[in-house]
């Protein structure tokens, strides 16, 4: 798994736009059930404690709401901070949204929200919110989702920092959940529609529980443990092997008849520091002694981990992300390469073949649709195979977004490796709704979800053209409630998968299963017909204290095509638009005018275009009563 440098590209691609209908003044999600509230207004620490010898006290020096907060001082390490026992509160298998407001007393840093859990006295740590900038000049909200996936005897929520030990204020701590919906059983299973190759999903412990497990087994043929088989999870200390994270996933997969892709035996990330520490206690360098020790550790690791699962794992990502196209030879200057050169790759594949002769062995990388990276990977695989290194296949991660890459670039990626006569697999696919790090949507805009559906449609159509070459496609997650893209490359809610945060099928699902239903499923037809020359649908798609997200669809109901358009209305409640996409905004007081974007100005007779926005409101949020298109009054749907 790796970031996409070109995720930042801001190219906008035109796709068909659908008519959106819904109740205009209601958000889609039900009211969450709040299970935890800490506001520090009673003068106590409200059950919080330090993780070591920190001092916790009620404070009136700062407050996010009301007059009080909790101050943690006397910190001597970054991991020390305010901690709360949530074992009596959190139930296994329930997805909680946790929110904490954080402010430093001095300076600035990055803060994280994490969970420590213990089973059988063994501690493990889960990150709820990744590094987020905080300072002493204002309050910052850390909010994320957490699902307890295992039985535990200890469970504490805590705030920590990345680099400093400055005192921390926290306030208005909440945890809530939305009652689970049953999965949709009356829709086709992905695995039954896509028969050219198995379709899988990356999983954590949360994906094998309750409705998540039902969704997983209904739609997918295989699973990839996303983190549970990596080096830090399986051999955290030298020659001390643990399979506490992976064994439950493997047992579940076996009981449900799911194939397993092993990920990953060698990677430059999530490898403990001791692996690259020499016998003298110093960081390894390119000496014969250090190289021999490193390769011995590598061999020992693979022999233990691969042997532990035997024939239960039929595919291994043996080495992961070894290409760096910015280097003249295309090889990543990782600690592995610096100390051992290509011999670490040769050793890894040789040992994996000895230990798992039944398994297909893959080299896996991201951005393989980029020509330079693709070509370097091709050259490396060609060289190693000529040397007799037992590489059976190439894994294409396919972490992409709604605007990039093109189908042609992806086809060129596949075609490049066909002459090598090896398997190709899509190993970590997701489609981000974001095209720039500066974007942040409180809820996924309808136009982005529609673009995403067409990307999934086109990519799966391409993959199905290569049934003998593409031998598996794995999505990097089960549903939008648990995706690595929520915290990478920046912290924000993404929606990159086929099922939404409530495990319901999205337009992206229909893009894979039945593309003819993309527009009708994402945008049902209006219940009342248009009678004028234009029609407008206005929808509030989400709301929160002081703000909301909206969508507007304009339809050309007349008989003449439009080459450009302007939609106009009046906000009577003092609402103010702060961000708009899919058009150009002008607002003067209550009067709002939105013109077309460069790519959606042409409206044939009967055609529609949509745009979305974020806005502020106070007191009330009345729906506009009247709309016009190019100065003509429209029917309001």
Mode of pairing for the β-strands spanning 259-267 and 399-401: unpaired
pLDDT tens-digit readout, 480-513:
999 999 989 988 899 999 999 999 999 999 999 9
Distance of CA 296 to the CA centre of its chain: 35
Return the DSSP state at 32. P
Distance of CA 634 to the CA centre of its chain: 39
Residue 84 pLDDT? 98
Does position 10 have pLDDT exceeding 50, yes or no?
A: no
Q: Which of 46-55, 295-304, 577-586 has the lowest average pLDDT? A: 577-586
* Mean pLDDT comparison of 20-24, 403-407, 605-609, highest-scoring range: 403-407
Q: Cα separation of 544 and 455, whole Å? A: 31
Mean pLDDT of 2-18: 32
Determine the straight-line distance between the first and last CA of the chain, rounded to whole angstroms: 44
Residues serving a catalytic function are 321, 365, 428
Q: Give 362's pLDDT tier (boundaries 50, 70, 90).
A: very high
pLDDT tens-digit readout, 233-288:
999 999 999 999 999 999 999 999 999 999 999 999 999 999 999 999 999 999 99
Does position 321 have pLDDT exceeding 70, yes or no?
A: yes
Nearest residue to 126 via CA among 148, 94, 151: 148
Q: Cα separation of 302 and 588, whole Å? A: 66
Q: Which of 47-51, 234-238, 296-300, 514-518 has the lowest average pLDDT? A: 514-518
Strand partners, 116: 125, 156
Contacts for 15 with CB less than 8 Å, ≥ 6 apart: 450, 451, 454
Please give the torsion angle defined by the CA atoms of residues 333, 336, 337 and 341, in that order, rounded to the nearest 10 degrees. 180
Q: Cα separation of 111 and 161, whole Å? A: 4
Residue 223 pLDDT? 98
Residue 1 pLDDT? 53
Q: Which CATH number fits domain 33-177: 3.40.50.970, 2.60.120.260, 2.30.110.10, 3.90.1170.20?
A: 2.60.120.260
* Phi, psi dihedral angles at 175 (to 5 degrees): -140, 135
pLDDT tens-digit readout, 589-631:
888 999 998 888 888 888 888 998 989 887 778 889 889 898 8
Nearest residue to 86 via CA among 66, 100, 68: 100
Q: Cα separation of 320 and 1, whole Å? A: 8
C-alpha pair distances (Å), 338 with each of 79, 290, 584? 31, 11, 51
Q: How many residues does the chain have?
A: 637
Q: Where are the beta strands (DSSP E) in 227-288?
A: 259-267
More confident residue, 428 or 126: 428
pLDDT tens-digit readout, 511-525:
999 999 997 665 433
Q: What topology is assigned to 526-636 in CATH?
A: Immunoglobulin-like (2.60.40)
Where are the CATH 2.60.120.260 domain residues in the chain? 33-177
* Domain 190-521 indexed as CATH 3.20.20.80: yes
Residue 471 pLDDT? 98
Q: Cα separation of 355 and 89, whole Å? A: 44
Nearest residue to 493 via CA among 119, 144, 227, 199: 144
Tally of helices (H runs) and strands (E runs) in the chain:
12, 30
Q: Cα separation of 223 and 209, whole Å? A: 14
Distance of CA 178 to the CA centre of its chain: 20
């Amino acid at each position: 798994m790796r970031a996409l440098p070109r995720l930042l590209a801001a190219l906008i691609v035109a796709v068909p736009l659908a008519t959106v209908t819904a109740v205009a003044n209601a958000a889609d999600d039900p009211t969450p059930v709040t299970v935890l509230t800490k506001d520090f207004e009673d003068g106590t620490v409200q059950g919080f404690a330090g993780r070591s010898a920190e001092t916790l006290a009620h404070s009136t020096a700062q407050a996010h709401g009301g007059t009080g907060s909790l101050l943690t001082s006397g910190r001597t390490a970054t991991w020390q901070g305010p901690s709360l026992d949530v074992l009596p509160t959190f139930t296994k298998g329930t997805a909680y949204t946790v929110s904490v407001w954080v402010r430093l007393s001095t300076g600035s840093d990055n803060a994280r929200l994490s969970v420590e859990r213990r089973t059988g006295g063994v501690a493990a740590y889960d990150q709820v919110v990744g590094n987020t900038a905080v300072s002493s000049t204002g309050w910052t909200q850390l909010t994320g989702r957490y699902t307890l996936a295992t039985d535990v005897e200890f469970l504490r929520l805590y705030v920590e920092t990345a680099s400093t030990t400055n005192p921390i204020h926290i306030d208005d701590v909440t945890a809530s959940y939305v009652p689970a919906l049953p999965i949709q059983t009356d829709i086709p299973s992905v695995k039954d529609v896509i028969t050219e190759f198995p379709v899988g999903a990356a999983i954590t412990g949360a994906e094998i529980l309750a409705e998540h497990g039902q969704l997983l087994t209904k739609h997918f043929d295989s699973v990839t443990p996303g983190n549970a088989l990596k080096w830090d999870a399986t051999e955290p200390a030298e020659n001390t092997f643990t399979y506490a994270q992976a064994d439950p996933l493997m047992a579940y997969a076996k009981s449900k008849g799911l194939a397993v892709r092993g990920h990953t035996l060698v990677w430059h990330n999530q490898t403990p520091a001791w692996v690259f520490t020499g016998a003298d206690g110093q960081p390894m360098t390119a000496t014969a002694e250090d190289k021999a020790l490193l390769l011995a550790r590598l061999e020992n690791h693979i022999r233990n981990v691969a042997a532990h699962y035997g024939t239960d794992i039929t595919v291994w990502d043996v080495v992961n992300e070894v290409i760096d196209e910015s280097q003249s030879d295309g090889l990543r200057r990782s600690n592995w390469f610096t100390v051992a050169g290509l011999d670490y790759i040769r050793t890894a594949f040789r040992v994996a073949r000895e230990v798992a002769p039944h398994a297909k062995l893959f080299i896996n990388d991201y951005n393989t649709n980029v020509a330079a990276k693709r070509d370097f990977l091709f050259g490396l695989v060609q060289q190693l195979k000529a040397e007799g290194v037992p590489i059976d296949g190439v894994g294409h991660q396919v972490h992409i977004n709604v605007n990039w890459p093109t189908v042609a670039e992806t086809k060129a990626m596949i075609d490049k490796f066909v002459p090598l006569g090896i398997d190709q697999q899509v190993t970590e696919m997701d489609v981000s709704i974001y095209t720039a790090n500066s974007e942040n949507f409180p809820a996924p805009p309808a136009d982005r979800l529609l673009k995403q559906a067409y990307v999934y449609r086109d990519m799966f159509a391409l993959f199905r053209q290569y049934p003998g070459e593409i031998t598996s496609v794995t999505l990097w997650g089960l549903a939008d409630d648990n995706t690595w893209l929520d915290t990478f490359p920046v912290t924000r809610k993404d929606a990159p998968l086929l099922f939404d945060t409530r495990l319901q099928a999205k337009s992206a699902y229909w893009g894979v299963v039945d593309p003819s239903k993309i527009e009708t499923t994402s945008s049902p037809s209006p219940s009342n017909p248009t009678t004028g020359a234009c029609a407008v649908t206005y929808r509030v798609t989400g709301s929160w204290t002081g703000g909301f997200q909206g969508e507007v669809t304009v339809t050309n109901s007349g008989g003449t095509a439009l080459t450009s358009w302007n939609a106009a209305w009046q906000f009577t409640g003092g609402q103010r638009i702060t961000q708009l996409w899919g058009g150009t905004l002008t607002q003067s007081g209550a009067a709002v005018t939105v013109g077309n974007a460069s790519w959606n100005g042409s409206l044939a007779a009967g055609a529609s275009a949509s745009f979305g926005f974020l806005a502020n409101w106070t007191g009330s949020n009345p729906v506009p009563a009247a709309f016009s298109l190019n100065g003509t009054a429209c029917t309001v749907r």
